[in-house]
Structure 1
Amino acid sequence: MWDILSRWPYSIRELRETLERLHAEGWIERSGDRWAEIRLTERGREASRGLTGAADAGGACPACEGKGIHLPEAWWRRFRELTEERPLPVAEYDQGFMRPEDAVARVAFMHRMGDVADREIVLIGDDDLVSIALAVTGLPRRIVVIDVDERLGAFIERANREQGFAIEFRPLDIRRPLPPDLTKRFDVFVTDPVETVPGFELFLSRAAASLRGRYAAGYFGLTTLEASLSKWHRLQQLVLRMNFVITDVLRDFSLYPERENRWERFYASYAMMSLFHIEGHLPDRDWYRSSFFRIEAIALPQPTILGDCALSETELYFDEETLATPRAGVS
C-alpha cells in the first residue's frame, strides 16, 4: 500500500476509487477488507507480463532525483548540521518538514531563478526552516519568517545568536492581516499553504500582500495526494486572479521523511487510515511528497482576502481530499 502511494500521481481518494474498481474487475486482491497488502490476481499477473520492463524505463536521474538542480554540498552539509535539533511537528498547525537536501534544493532553484541574491524574502510559515537554508548562503538582503509557532521562532533566534544570522521572526496567525511594515515590502515569498481551497486562498492572499509589485516572485509547495487536479484547477484560478502567472512546476520536488518527523502518532487521526481500513499499519517508507511552484507577478499583486479571516480550524485544514492531515490534540 505505502509503496503504491509513494508513486501514485493522483489524490489519495482517487487511489481508493481505483483500487476498488480493479478489485471489482478481478485484477487485484486484498487481505479481507484491508488494503494494507495488495496483490495481483492470476488475471492481473497475466496482463502485466508484457509490462515488466516498462516500469523501470524513463526513471528519474539518480544524481539529481529528477530535480535538474546542482546541490551545493557546503550549503547542504551546514544546513543539515544546523537543523539537527529542530522542533518536531505538531498536529495543531498541520506541520511536517521535508528532507534537508530538498530544502536546500529549493534555495538552489530560487537562486538559479535570480530570487535569492540581494533579495528581501518573506516566508509565510517555515516548518522546513528554509529561512536557515537561505541564511547559510549569505546572499539575501533580508529574511523574515512569519509563523504562528513560537518554538520555530526560538530555534531561529538561537541560530541567529550562534551563527551570526539576521533572520527576523514575527509571530502571527495568518487569519490576521499582515501588519503595515510587512506589506508591499518584499521581492520574494516562500510558503507551504494548507491544501483546502479556502486555506490556500488565505495563505496566497497574505503572501501576495507582502510583495512590492510587478516581477516579484513567489514559491509554494502543493501535493497531488491531498489536492486532486480538479482542486489544482481551482487553486490555479486563484493564482491568476491575484495577478500572478505560473512560471515553473517541479513535480515531486520534496519528500517528507517518516523517521525524522517522528509523526507516527499522527496516523491515528488521518482519515485515510479508516478509508483504506489500515488502522495501525504504519508506513515502511517515505511516501508523502509535494511539487514546487514558482509564480511571478505581472502587475501589483491583488490579494482576495484583505482583513481578518473567520475560517475555523476545520475549514482551514480539512476537506474531502485532505486525508493525510492530522487532527489537533494528537499526542
Structure 2
Amino acid sequence: MSPSKPPEETPQQQDMSKKKTSPNTVIPELEMDAVPESKDSPLHTEEDLSAAPPSSQEVTASEQIAIIDADDIALASLPETHPPSQTPPSPRPKIRHFLQNIFEVSALYDLEEWPNVSHELYLKAREELRIRVDTVYNFMKHKGFNWEKRSSFRIFGETLLQLLWIDWSDPEAKHTATHEVLSQLSKRPQAILDYDQLYCTPDSAERRRDLVLTHHALADKKVLFIGDDDLGSVVLAPHFPGEIHMLDLDQRLLQFVQEEAPNVHRHEINLILSGIPAPLHKYFDAVFLDPHWEYSGAWMFLNKAIYALSEHPDARIYLSFCPVHLEYQPGQMTRFWKRLASLGMMCEQVIPAFNLYSLDEADIPEFRALIDEYLPQLESSFANALREIPFAFSNMYVLKRIPGHRPHKIRSFFFNWWHSA
C-alpha cells in the first residue's frame, strides 16, 4: 500500500502559501528553540481537534470500537524490476537506529538507556519531539510552504511518534518474522509506486495471517484479498484449510502467486473499472484490503469488500489504513463512520500500528524522489533526520455487519447494481 499524496489545499490555505520558498530554507536556531504553546500548535489547532489522531496512550473512536494493543492500473508495459533487498526478520533494529539519530540531533541526552526508560521519561521525550515537529511546521507555514509540503512533514512527524511508542511499549523484538515467511516473500517482485504498491514488512504479513488462523481457521471458511501486493494469500496458504481468493491486476503478482501457492484462486481484475464478479457476492468470511490512503481511494475498494462479505455474523473485513490521512482533515473521520453505518457496517476493533511498510530505497527506489518532492530539505538537523524515517504505519480496522440492520431498499438496489454493472 502506498501513502496517498497530502490533501489538496483549501482557498484559505492557498492564500497562506503564495509566498515562494527555496528548497534549502534556513531555520534560524532562535526560531527552532522557540517553543510554541501546545494548544496553539498546528497539530492542535481548533480546526484539527475534532480530527486529530489518537495518541499512543489514549485512543478514541466511536463507542462501537474496542481498542486493543498489538503489536490496480493497466499493464500496457511493465517497467523493468529488480529483486528487492534482503529483508531483515525484524524492523526493530532500523527503528532503533533511526530513533537514536533523532535523539542525538534533538539533544535528548537522558535517553541513553532507551528503550528501557521510565514512563515519565518516555512522555517527556514524546512531548519534546512533538514540540520540535510543531516548531518546524510553524516555520514552514510562516515561510509560505504550500499545504502539501506542510502536511507531508506533519505526517512524518506523527509517524515518528508512532515508532517511538512501538519501540518503547515493547522493547523486546516481538516484531520478528519467521524463516518461513521470509522465505516465502524473498523473491517477490519489487514494489511499483505507480501501481500504488508499498509492501508491508514480513512480520506484518505474518500478523495478518494469524488473524485469519485465530478467527476463521475452519475448512468451510473463505478468505479474499482485494489487491494482494503484500502477498497475504501466499503467507496464509500453507496453514489455512479453507478457500483463498486474491484479486489483482499486476500480472507479476498473479504469476508469483500461481508459482508459490497454486491452491489460491487468482482473479485478474481492474477494480477501478470493474466490480466484484457476481458469483463472489456475499461469499467470503474474511476480506482483507489495504487501499489507497485517502478518503475516496479507501471507499473505492471498501465498497467492493462490503459487496463480497458474507452475511454470517462472524464475517469480518480487515481494513489496513493509516489514520493520519483522514484524522488530520476536519470532519473526515466522522464522515467516514457515518457512511460506514449507512451501509450496515460498524467498526468492532482498532489495532493501532498493526502494519509497518518499508521505506528503504532498496525496496522502493521511487519513494526517495517522492520525499524530495513533498518534504524539501531544510537547514535543520531535526527536519533532515526525519526525512530518513524507515517505515510508514497503518492501523488495522476490523469491520463487521451491524446485527439486524435493514438497508434502505433504494440504496441497497443501487449498491448491488453498481457492483454488478
TM tier, smaller: 0.5 to 0.7
Residue 199 of structure 1, CA deviation? 2.1
CA distance in 2: counterparts of 1:39 and 1:122, whole angstroms: 54
Match of 1:195 among 265, 283, 293: 293
- Cα distance change of structure 1 residues 206 and 117 upon mapping to structure 2, 3 Å threshold: same
Which digits, 9 at most, give the CA deviation of each residue in 1:62-84, with x for residues without a partner?
2366x8xxx7x7xx321210110
* Cα-to-partner distance string for 1:49-101 (whole Å, 9 max, x where unaligned): 99962345873212366x8xxx7x7xx32121011010111123211111101
Report which of the two structures shows the higher radius of gyration computed on alpha carbons: 2
Q: Which amino acid aligns with 1:148?
A: L
- Secondary structure, aligned partner of 1:108: helix
Q: Which runs of 5+ in 1 are unaligned?
A: 1-10, 14-30, 310-331
- From 254, 258, 263, the equivalent of 1:166 is 263
Q: Counterpart of 1:232? A: 333
For residues 159-182 of structure 1, the C-alpha deviation after alignment (integer angstroms, 9 at most, x for no partner) is 03xxxx511110111131111121
Specify whether residues 90 and 274 from structure 1 end up closer, same or farther in structure 2 by C-alpha distance, changes over 3 A only. Answer: closer
Q: Which amino acid aligns with 1:131?
A: S
- Among the aligned pairs, what percent are the same residue? 19
Q: Check conservation: 2:358, 2:390, Cα contact below 8 A.
A: yes
CA spacing shift, 1:149–1:225, aligned 2, 3 Å = same
Relative to structure 1, is the Cα distance of residues 277 and 185 closer, same or farther in structure 2, using a 3 angstrom cutoff?
Answer: same
Deviating above 6 A after TM superposition, structure 1's stretches of 4 or more consecutive aligned residues are: 37-40, 47-52, 300-304
- 2:291 aligns to what SS in structure 1? coil
Within 5 Å, which residues of 2 pair with 1:60-139?
60-63=169-172, 76-112=178-214, 114-118=215-219, 119-136=221-238, 138-139=239-240
Q: Does 1:223 align with 2:296?
A: no
| 1: CA distance, partners of 2:337 / 2:173 | 28
**Counterpart in the other structure of 2:402:** 298
Q: Structure 1 pair 180/201, CA: closer, same or farther in 2 (3 Å)?
A: same
Deviation (angstroms), 1:241: 2.0
TM-score normalised to structure 1 length: 0.68
The residue type paired with residue 210 of structure 1 is A
- Mapped partners of 2:360, 2:373: distance in 1: 22
Give SS of 2:348's match: strand
Matches of 2:203 and 2:343 in 1, distance apart? 31
User: Could you tell me how far 1:200 is from its partner in structure 2?
Assistant: 1.6
User: What amino acid does structure 2 have at the position aligned with 1:171?
Assistant: E
Task: Provide the residue aligned with 1:266 in structure 2.
Answer: 367
- Secondary structure of 2:208's aligned partner: helix
For 1:38 and 1:287, the matched residues in 2 are separated by: 28
> For the Cα contact (< 8 Å) 1:220–1:292, is it kept in 2?
yes
Shift in alpha-carbon separation, 1:117–1:154, aligned structure 2, 3 A: same
Q: Describe the shift of the 1:61–1:172 C-alpha distance in structure 2 as closer, same or farther (beyond 3 A).
A: same
Report what 1:286 is aligned to. Answer: 390
- Which residue in 2 is equivalent to 1:317? none
| Counterpart code for 1:218 | I
Q: Distance in 2 between matches of 1:193 and 1:63?
A: 30
Q: Secondary structure at the match of 1:288?
A: strand
Which whole-Å CA distance do the structure 1 matches of 2:108 and 2:198 have between them? 40
What is the distance in 2 between the residues matched to 1:133 and 1:141?
14
Q: Given that residues 282 and 309 in structure 2 are in contact (C-alpha distance below 8 angstroms), is that contact kept between their aligned partners in structure 1? A: yes
2:357 to 251, 256, 273: 256
Query: Secondary structure of the residue that 2:397 maps to in structure 1?
Result: strand
Decide whether the 8 Å contact of 2:193 with 2:366 is kept in 1: no
Number of equivalences: 267
Q: What is the CA RMSD across the aligned residues, in angstroms?
A: 3.9
Secondary structure in structure 1 of the residue aligned to 2:169: coil
Whole-Å separation in 1 of the counterparts to 2:358 and 2:216: 27
Matched, 1:246 2:347: yes
Whole-angstrom CA distance in 2 between matches of 1:305 and 1:39: 57
CA distance in 2, matches of 1:201, 1:41: 40
Deviation at 1:221, TM superposition (A): 0.6
Alpha-carbon distance in 2 for matches of 1:101, 1:277: 31
* Contact persistence 1:200–1:235 (CA under 8 A): no
Q: CA deviation at 1:208?
A: 0.9
Q: CA deviation at 1:244?
A: 1.5
Separation in structure 2 between the aligned mates of residue 38 and residue 227 of structure 1, nearest angstrom: 33
In the alignment, is the contact (CA less than 8 A) between 1:79 and 1:132 conserved in 2?
Answer: no
Residues 245, 116 of structure 1: alpha-carbon distance in 2 compared, 3 angstrom cutoff: farther
Q: How far apart are the structure 2 equivalents of 1:38 and 1:264?
A: 33
Structure having the larger proportion of residues in helix:
2
Query: How far apart are residue 44 of structure 1 and its match?
Result: 4.3
